[in-house]
Amino acid sequence: MQASEFVVPGFDAAGVAAGIKKNGALDLALIASRVPCRAAAVFTLNRFPAAPVQYDRRLLAFNPTSVHGVVINSGCANACTGVEGAANARRTAEAVERALGAGDQTIFVMSTGVIGVQLPMDRLLDGIPAVVQQLRPEGWPDAARAIMTTDTRPKLFTRSVQIGGETVRLTGIAKGAGMIHPNMATMLSTLATDVHMAQPLLQQALHAAVNRSFNRISIDGDTSTNDTVLLLANGLAGNPEIQESDDPAYGAFVEALTELCTELAQAIVRDGEGATKFVTIQVNGAISDQEAHQAANTIATSPLVKTAFFGNDANWGRILAAVGRAGIQVEPEKCALFVSGGPAPGQHLPELQLVEAGTPLPYAEADAAERFAQPEIDVRVELGLGQGRATVWTTDLSHEYVSINGDYRT
């Protein structure tokens, strides 16, 4: 896609190299609105939240309706950095506010990288005038690259939806490749839209979208200190303000937002550290959606299941064993298991049933192995107990994952 296709009216973006990363790559991003924005955000549940997470939580509570953007650095997480780290998060926001000519407490801050290291504030502050100068409507690709850490490629997508006779635009960037797990993963995402919507509904919409996207992915079962999804809405689309959740316009926006978040979330999984497989785990027929999600997530985070995917081993017993220890209601005699796979989305082999009524069927082992050997694998578990269903996206667990994380700081 051309950079112009990501433009959201009223927003500018940029990414520059401020010298935070040792390799000289882009490492400082800025997304700014020319008019005050309404904001919504979802943060990590990790009990060691990074300084920028703590800063942003306070900012959102204090000023959810008149913000001007977000500054994001990669190369240093500013996590577990104490009083100095908190002061540096605040100094970063204040420097951007001055450079933009924006009011106090109008800029969010995000950081990603190594934990336990103080931000190199001299380099970061020197980079702020440069990133402000580079702001432009088509600057999204540079911003997406500037927030990468172990990511191998930028994650940038866009959507549009008709609301009230107006075209509403949504564009989002994300980073993440490891420490990925629900609530949330080690990921940052900023989403910008020109929709006109009441702030409480904006927050509600973001929660709904995140629960069906970013909270349905897992690479390694680790939840980070810095995870943040931020949604900025400047209202410039000109649609009638959405004020009620039963307004059809609200449903249309949530659908588009969820599609955007899902595409970003799946891109994170596809770029998982050391990943060779993209795996979709679907659990149907649980007592509730919550139990279905619990089962799917247990499968997705099982090291034995993930290594079986890596080894092209159709060891389906590990999948059912994961369901059995998920802490949900299960009646083995009602369980069925299906698997499919293929080289790319939409190019899959026919689904193969491996288990019926809790026992194996006389399938050909070569047919099962063929599906487990594909880059894309679909697993479907039918519990036969109710209407609950859930889908989780995950990866295999490879030697390369261990290598990447064994020398992450060096």
149 is in an annotated binding site: yes
In 251-400, at which residue ranges do the beta strands (DSSP E only) sit? 278-286, 336-342, 352-356, 359-360, 376-382, 388-395
106, 112, 171, 186: the catalytic one is 186
- 395 annotated ligand-binding residue: no
Secondary structure of residue 147 in the 3-state scheme: coil
CA 73 to the chain's CA centroid = 17
Q: For this structure, is 150 an active site residue?
A: no
312 is known to lie in a ligand binding site: no
Cα–Cα distance, 176 to 13 (Å, whole number): 19
In 3D space, the residue among 330, 346, 223, 228 whose CA is nearest the CA of residue 280 turns out to be 346
**Sequence-ordered list of residues with C-beta below 8 angstroms from that of 136, at least 6 positions apart, any chain:** 12, 13, 14
- Do residues 162 and 252 lie in contact, with contact meaning Cβ atoms separated by under 8 Å? yes
Amino acid code (one letter) for 209: A
Do the annotations mark residue 175 as ligand-binding?
yes
Look up residue 196 and give its two tokens.
Answer: 């006109």
Contact 201, 245 (CB under 8 A): yes
273 marked as part of a ligand binding site: yes
* Residue numbers belonging to the annotated binding site for substrate: 149, 175, 186, 273, 405, 410
Tell me which residues are annotated as active site. Answer: 186
Cite the annotated binding site by residue number.
149, 175, 186, 273, 405, 410
